Amino acid sequence: MSYYVIVYDRQRGELVQALESFPDESRRDALRRRFELEKVYPDHEVVVLGGESEAAIMRTHGRYFKTVSELLATGGGG
């Protein structure tokens, strides 16, 4: 499993920066990065997601990666 840190702007419905990935043994590093980014982006959603791959994260947490139109067309997306 890998961990992915994302910064998401809920008002605009888009990622603020590209995914940052951390290997399984670096879970603590991912959490530290999340806390750093929360200070930089206090009005955004900063999360650490765990999954087998970036593609898996995009499937299970689609709302972070799809536009509103895409979410409406597919009926959700995670």
List the chain pLDDT tens, one digit each, 78 residues.
999 999 999 888 889 988 999 999 999 999 999 999 999 999 999 999 999 999 999 999 988 988 777 777 877 655
Cross-strand pairs, 8: 15, 45
Please state the domain count of the chain: 1
Domain containing residue 60: 2-74
Q: What is the residue whose two structure tokens read 């961990």?
A: 3
